[in-house]
Amino acid sequence: MRSVVLLSGGIDPVSGRPAPPSGEIAAIGLALSAGGAVGGVHVGLPAAALGQAAGHGLGQIACLRGVGDPVAILAAHLSAAPPDLVLAGSRACGGEDSGMLPYLLAERLGWPLLAGVVAIGTVADGWLPVTIGLPLGARQDARIRLPCILCAHDAAPAPPFVFDRARRVAMHAVAVADAETIAPPEGTERPYRARPRLIGSAAPAGGGRVLDNPDPAEAARVLLDHLRALGMLDA
Amino acid sequence: MRVLIVGEIGGIALAAAMGWLVLLARWLKGRPATGWLAGLRQVPRRYLVDVHHVVARRPAAARMHAMAAGGVLGGAALALLAALLGAGGIVWALAALAFGMGGIGALLVWRRRVPKAPPALSGGAFLWLPAALAAWCVGNGLAALFMAIGASALPVIPSVVLGGLGGVALLRLVALGPMRHALAGVAWLAGHTRPGRFTGKGRDTGLRPLDLAAPRLGVLVPADFSGPELAAFDACIQCGRCEEACPAFAAGQRLNPKALIQTLSGAMRAVPPPYAGRPAPSVPVLQGKGGMGQPIVGNVLHRDTLWACTTCRACVEECPMLIEHVDAVVALRRGQTLMLGATRDGAAQALRASRERAEPGGRDLAARGDMIAALDMPVLPPGGESDILLWLGEGAFDARYGRTLRALVTLMRRAGLRFATLGADEVDCGDLARRLGDEATFQSLAAEAISALKARRFTKIVTADPHALHVLRNEYPALGGRWEVQHHTGLLDELVRDGRLRLERRESTRVAYHDPCYLGRYNGEIDAPRRLLDAACTDRVEMARHGMRAMCCGGGGGSPVSDVDAVTRIPDLRMEQARAAGAGLVAVACPGCTAMLEGVTGPRPEIRDVAELVLAAVVAGAMV
């Protein structure tokens, strides 16, 4: 089992100082719990947050030195020597980060992705059992085929920070081919404005029907009628 | 006859010297120490002056020790001298006198535990100590007496045999512990890791910086301690004064400083002699095996013991062997934190916030001044100049301590002082990180603080936080930051003395001053706050434990963030002492003490900072 943890040049939201995001620390924890070789990958120059992330359990971090779309750079790097598992946080904290990177990467590599992972089990027949954290502490078991991308839940157990590991990390720069530049995002930007709460006011009080063990087609028809009655679907 | 006596006393002395070398060989497996042997010439002075100074706080113990130790050693030296040189009866008589004194000493040693042994004293092999001392002194004393009066060989031989048996028993007690302090103490006093305690101000309390490039950071196994430190653990005489003073022990936390030192001494040995003192409260028996290369924490020492320490130095203050308990705790914490990341959860959060936000509470540095925002404090920009730099400290985030700071700032304004703060450039001084063993975070915070301070010009730093005071005054110099640092009580005392603030005593309830550990024991400042209170209040009383021997509030050393199990809370115990002194108001001088003592629930004396009481009493200032 070889795992790669995607690391960002994290910034602490309060202090603005370099700091690994909690999700990435949790991702390192998941990678360690999977066993086998674990390495970090960062696109860009070595950042201070990387050393701190390494303190949570990474022996080495590859810094991919290329210009252009980090998704393309990562995809090229990962498909050259595909690991079994790619782990990421749910969202970086660098300011411009959208949290889309793992999804775009999965799309480009054609790998499956699961988000909100709090624990992983042992591989059987090429399938990896994982536990996904849902709101209010609920847990859901799932399994995913390797190789895959997992986004760690922010609340997944975080391995402790060990200064001795942080100071021993081997950070090596890897020269990679430049990738295409990122296309500017579509759509227009406009300032946020408060929107009226639609759901609460749109739903009429009472009404509805209770169906006990209905036929699926019947249930779908009732739901559609109900939504049409509310005006949420075109008649 | 003389040959017999030389053989007996000399043989025992030689065997003791051999035993010392065996111990030395074990201590030398620790980290090397420079100038250890050269320190041997300091030993008599350190022993007779510094050790005795502590022992003599309990006169009965001092008398006992002087007679027993003086008799055992002095009698032996005189008898050996007489036997070797063939001296006359007078030297033999003197030897007999000394042994006689030692015999009385042995009796006092016996009386110490009979009819009732104080709970802080160890039992076990210690119960044999009076008999061994008595046999040595009575046997040899009789022999010397017979030699003095020129008696025949007949009574001398059994006396020498008795003395020899006593000597063998004493040697056995070296191995078992009770007499080991005599041999190990010499090595420890020669290589004491804080020589500053014996020179100048007689105080040396700052932690030493750690070389962060060293392969092993802190202590994981006994061999990671320096040689003299290992000797210190062996030098413990188990008198239990430390455990009587320890606030964590009193609160039922899993720490007993005496048991801790005995555990560290035992950790050096695969088969340590049994410990017959009180253990740390509610600590399960650990089955681990000791050895110079065996892990200490979790193996022979319970993890919680490490995090219960408030680093208040009460144990160090009480220790007659001048052992540095707190240094040992911090060294072990450094190993756990830096090498293993094995801190308690709460401490790990505080350390992460210290790393990532330069503030253990994780708060925005720009919010530090919020509690005194109404006072419109000037902020010193880089390159700026002022007379006094006011270091706000971590307490400034707290609304309660904001009142203290507002009182202080108001007083400083009334005295016409020119001062400013660092504003958002003030990072945490690193005290908490350092006490929790995270030397790396401490050094990075210290470097940032020092460079922020060096970018500004001022005459001195004033702070209301004794922890910041200690770090800035005593620990930054080793990292290149040297400034005059003053506690706010010292500054206010100066202002009152110089007439820049005039106080009028306010009728008040009885006021007891609670000494912060980091102001009192760490910095020796116990008089200025009392002078201020005497000038501001009509009725001041002392708690039973005060000044250099005050009890900790429980707030230091990262203990509050370490979620330590306890039977009761340390501040509750301290508040009980204030009540016992009849105090209706407890004066404090530290944000930590303020928070801890105000956290005591139920009806209790009021808590006021010295600055608040001074402000209430001030009738005139230079600017009024």
Express each pLDDT in A39-70 by its tens digit.
Answer: 999 998 888 899 999 999 999 999 999 888 88
A223 to each of A198, A201, A207, A226, how far by Cα in Å?
Answer: 19, 19, 13, 5
Chain centroid to CA B33? 21
Interface with A, mutate which of B352, B365, B438 (most A CBs under 10 A): B352
pLDDT in the model for residue A96: 61
Share of chain A above pLDDT 90, in %: 55
The pLDDT score that the predictor gives to residue B531 is 96
pLDDT under 50 in chain B at which residues?
624
Of B352, B357, B363, the CB nearest to A161: B352
Element (H, E) at B513: strand B511-513
Q: Which residues 6+ apart lie within 8 Å of B443 measured at CB?
A: B209, B210, B212, B430, B479
Rounded CA-CA distance A176/A63 in Å is 10
Of the ranges A129-143, A179-193, B599-613, which one carries the lowest mean pLDDT score? A179-193
> What are the tens digits of pLDDT across the range B486-521?
999 999 999 999 999 999 998 878 999 999 999 999
What is residue A206's predicted lDDT score, i.e. its pLDDT? 61
Cα distance between residue B533 and residue B538, in whole Å: 8
Q: What is the pLDDT of residue B624?
A: 42
Give CA–CA dist B370/A11, Å, rounded. Answer: 24
What's the confidence (pLDDT) of residue A126? 87
C-alpha closest to that of B501 among B388, B368, B592, B407? B407
For residues B454 and B348, give the distance between their C-alpha atoms in angstroms, rounded to a whole number: 30
Chains A, B: CB contacts within 8 A come to: 54
- CA of A52 vs chain B CAs: smallest distance (Å): 9
How far apart CA B121 and CA B109 sit, in angstroms, is 12
CB B588 within 8 A of CB B532: no
Measured in angstroms, the CA of B609 and the nearest CA of chain A are apart by: 31
Cβ <8 Å between B351 and A52: no
Identify the closest residue of chain B to A48 by CA–CA distance. B356
Secondary structure tally for chain B: helices H, strands E: 26, 10
Instruction: Give contacts of A165 with chain B, Cβ < 8 Å.
Output: 341
High-pLDDT (> 70) share of chain A, %: 93
- Helix/strand/coil for B418: coil
The pLDDT of residue A200: 55
* Residues of chain B in Cβ contact (below 8 Å) with chain A: 212, 217, 337-343, 348, 351-352, 355-359, 362-365, 438, 440-441
Contacts of B348 in chain A (CB under 8 A): 160-161
In SS3 terms, A51-98 reads as: HHHHCCCCCEEEEEECCCCHHHHHHHHHHHCCCCEEEECCCCCCCCCC
A17/B348 Cβ within 8 A: no
* Pairwise CB contact (< 8 Å): A160 & B342: yes
Counting Cβ atoms within 10 Å, is residue B207 exposed (0-12), middle (13-18) or buried (19+)?
Answer: buried
Mutation pick from A22, A56, A164 vs chain B, by most beta carbons of B within 10 Å, is A164
Q: B339, A52: Cβ pair inside 8 Å?
A: no
Interchain contact, A161 vs B357, CB within 8 Å: no
Residue from the list A15, A162, A165 with its beta carbon closest to the beta carbon of B356: A15
Q: Report d(CA B145, CA B98) in Å as an integer.
A: 11
- Find, among B419, B408, B423, the residue nearest to B386 by Cα: B419
- Cα gap A114→A107, rounded to integer Å: 12
Asked if the model's pLDDT at residue A195 lies above 80, the reply is no
Q: What is the reported pLDDT for A203? A: 53
Among partner residues B338, B357, B359, which is closest to A163 by beta-carbon distance?
B338
Identify whether B115 is preceded by a cis peptide bond (ω within 30 of 0): yes
Say yes or no for a CB contact (<8 Å) between B338 and A162: yes
What is the structure's pLDDT at B16?
95
- For A163, the token pair is 């200064």
Q: Beta partners for B462?
A: B390, B486
**ipTM field:** 0.90
Report the chain A residue with the minimal C-alpha distance to residue B363: A14
Residue A202, pLDDT score: 53
Alpha helix (H) residue ranges in chain A: 22-34, 48-54, 70-80, 101-109, 163-168, 198-202, 216-230
Structural domains of chain A in order of their starting residue, each with its CATH number: 2-175 (3.40.50.620), 201-230 (no CATH)
Strand, helix or coil at B435? Answer: helix
Lowest-confidence region among A21-25, A154-158, B533-537: A154-158
B479 contacts B440 by C-beta, under 8 angstroms: no
